[in-house]
Structure 1
Amino acid sequence: MEQIQHRHVQVRGVKLHVAEIGSGPKVVLFLHGFPEIWYTWRHQMVAVANKGHRAIAIDFRGYGLSEQPAEPEKATFKDLIDDVVALLDSLSIDKAFLVGKDFGALPAYLVAALHPERVSGVITLGIPFMLPGPSAVQNHLLPEGFYISRWQEPVGRAEADFGRFDVKTVIRNIYILFSRSEIPIAAADQEIMDLFDPATPLPPWFSEEDLSVYASLYEKSGFRYPLRVPYRTLKVDCGLTDPKVSAPSLLIVGEKDYVLKFPGIEDYIRTGAVKHFVPDLEITYMAEGNHFVHEQFPEQINQLIVSFLDKHGI
């Protein structure tokens, strides 16, 4: 970990925090989800670098050590797509493998669809190809207390829910809740943070030290932008019709990831319907994997990533 270098790179009017290790012709750019940050890829970055590749992880704009945009309320997923391309330009990288987790999967796939010449391959964890828009997640088929529905409400409710606790407690709560195989859904008289039992320990693969790193980064950025992107912009149509990802791709699915229980998601993956958008897609299932499979089983995930890189050329 101490070999990972950190710097800021000016990208489209904001300074993005960039963590980097290794060198080599194959570049792997890691894109985090929520409540994650660049550090979520710590195991994978070192493994990729040890195999002779260049590993880069960023904090998305508005997250962690990256700068806040001037008008976060205007942000959409397109900002993340454009940031990835601009970052590759700033670092003089012609092509990269993109690895996305959780909502980081969306820009990974969409950069590959919109800028195929820049992407050597795509790996995503937990989230298949999906387009931001009204039907991205079918909230109406889940109870009102579904966590995405709650966090998509106009500014105020989620902020007040989170604001009852310090940042470290919010991250702890979400990590524990999201490690379960059940979708986090609150009752009508509850908030999402009320689902957490303070007596529940952290998962064995996530240490107090890890939690402290996450907390320190979110203390810097807060949750204003993360609640906007992904949650409040997930329903915003990105204007694409029937995009295709031509790059070789790998989807890693933890079979105990609660996202599989979102309406239609498991059928979309298991029937192969996802291959309409990503024809060259390999799908790997991990029987005990949860929403944080890359932190839960780092060695297995590292092997899958390295094997994918070995299989596919520059």
Structure 2
Amino acid sequence: MDQIQHKYVTVQGLKLHVADIGTGPNVVVFLHGFPEIWYSWRHQMIAVAKAGFRAIAPDCRGYGLSDPPPQPEKTSSYDLINDLLGILDALAIPKVFLIGKDFGARPAYLFALLHPEKVLGVVTMGVPYRPPQTRSPYDKCLPEGFYINRWREPGRAEADFGRLDAKTVVRNVYILFSRSELPIAAENQEIMDMVDSSTPLPPWFTEEDLEAYGKLYEKSGFQTALQMPYRASTDDLGTSESIVKVPVLFIMGNKDYTLKFPGIEDYINSGKLKEFVPDLEIVFLPEGTHFVQEQSPELVNELILTFLRKYI
């Protein structure tokens, strides 16, 4: 960890924090999800650097050590794509592998759609590719207490989170999201109330890890994090393209709660996903939860390195 360098790149008027380790022409960029930050890729960054790659993990705008945008409520997927493009330009990196987890999968796929000449391959975890024109059906198919429905409601999550310190919010989300059931609160219950204070952290997530997350969320807060991904609209990206033409590895935990989203498991297993991602490999991890890269780092690292070596 002490070999990871930390730098700032100014993109679209924001100072974006980038963790960086390794050298050489083959570069891997890691894109985090929620409630994650660059730190969630610590195991993978060290592994790919030891294997001869350069590993870069930015904090998404408004997350961790990156500046928040002046109007967080206007943050969109398109901003993340332009941030990534700006980071690559600033660091003079012509071509990369992209690895995205949770909402970080979306900009990875969209970047590959819009800038295929800059992408050697894509690895994602927890969230399958959906064409940019696709609208989310979850708010209509799932109860009012479903966590995304709650967090889309302006002010509700802010009030819920605001009762607790940042570290406790992250702790509760990690516990909730590492279960195999969808987080759905009762009518008179808030999402944070779904976790008892005596519930232990997952065994692969230490108090030291939680401390690292807590400190960074104390700095950034959750305003941008609630906008991206939960309230951001589906943007018009200016392209009708929907086929991802670069090689893709999709890693999914069999115990990931997102498999309980309506239609997702069938979409992955029926062959429909492969219609949009022709050069696709899918790997299911039997014990994997939503945080496979932190839960089973050695296994995930091996899958990633095998994929990377295939396409350099």
Q: Counterpart of 2:10?
A: 10
Matched, 1:101 2:97: no
1:217-236 matches, within 5 Å, as 217-234=216-233
What amino acid maps onto 2:253 in structure 1? G
Three-state SS of the structure 2 residue aligned to 1:230 is: helix
Contact 2:23 2:52 in 1 (8 A): yes
Q: Counterpart of 2:47?
A: 47
Q: Counterpart of 1:121?
A: 121
Q: Counterpart of 1:272?
A: 271
Q: TM-score, normalised by structure 2?
A: 0.97
Deviations 1:257-291 (A, max 9, x none): 00011011111111121122211110000000000
Q: Counterpart of 1:78?
A: 78
Contact 1:152 1:227 in 2 (8 A): yes
Matched, 1:57 2:57: yes
Q: Counterpart of 1:174?
A: 173
Give distance in 2, aligned partners of 1:259 and 1:38: 22
Give distance in 2, aligned partners of 1:97 and 1:235: 24
Contact 2:131 2:276 in 1 (8 A): no
Contact 1:133 1:238 in 2 (8 A): no
Deviations 1:54-111 (A, max 9, x none): 0000100111100011121221111001111111111100000000000000000000
Q: TM-score, normalised by structure 1?
A: 0.97
Contact 1:131 1:238 in 2 (8 A): no
Q: Counterpart of 1:214?
A: 213
Deviations 1:168-188 (A, max 9, x none): 000000000000000000011
Percent identical: 63
Three-state SS of the structure 2 residue aligned to 1:48 is: helix
Q: Counterpart of 2:161?
A: 162
Q: Name the CA shift for 1:237/1:145 in 2 (closer, same or farther; >3 Å).
A: farther
Contact 1:31 1:105 in 2 (8 A): yes
Give distance in 1, aligned partners of 2:209 and 2:138: 33
Which residues of structure 1 form unaligned runs of 5+?
A: none
Residue 237 of structure 1, CA deviation: 5.6
Give distance in 1, aligned partners of 2:150 and 2:135: 17
Give distance in 2, aligned partners of 1:34 and 1:131: 21
Contact 2:74 2:232 in 1 (8 A): no
Three-state SS of the structure 1 residue aligned to 2:2 is: coil
Which residues of structure 2 form unaligned runs of 5+?
A: none
Three-state SS of the structure 2 residue aligned to 1:57 is: strand
Q: Name the CA shift for 1:218/1:13 in 2 (closer, same or farther; >3 Å).
A: same
Residue 236 of structure 1, CA deviation: 5.3
Q: Name the CA shift for 1:281/1:65 in 2 (closer, same or farther; >3 Å).
A: same
Deviations 1:191-242 (A, max 9, x none): 1001111111001100000000001111110000010111001555656534
Residue 243 of structure 1, CA deviation: 1.6
Give distance in 1, aligned partners of 2:117 and 2:238: 21
What amino acid maps onto 2:252 in structure 1? V
What amino acid maps onto 1:270 in structure 2? N
Give distance in 2, aligned partners of 1:234 and 1:256: 28
Give distance in 2, aligned partners of 1:264 and 1:225: 28
Matched, 1:145 2:145: yes
Matched, 1:251 2:225: no
Give distance in 2, aligned partners of 1:176 and 1:194: 12
Three-state SS of the structure 2 residue aligned to 1:229 is: helix
Give distance in 1, aligned partners of 2:298 and 2:237: 36
Q: Name the CA shift for 1:242/1:188 in 2 (closer, same or farther; >3 Å).
A: farther
Three-state SS of the structure 2 residue aligned to 1:279 is: coil
Three-state SS of the structure 1 residue aligned to 2:266 is: helix
What amino acid maps onto 1:201 in structure 2? P
Residue 126 of structure 1, CA deviation: 1.0
Say which is worse superposed, 233-242 or 174-183, in terms of deviation: 233-242
Q: Name the CA shift for 1:151/1:131 in 2 (closer, same or farther; >3 Å).
A: farther
Count of aligned positions: 312
1:174-213 matches, within 5 Å, as 174-213=173-212
Contact 1:132 1:233 in 2 (8 A): no
Three-state SS of the structure 2 residue aligned to 1:17 is: strand
Contact 1:242 1:277 in 2 (8 A): no
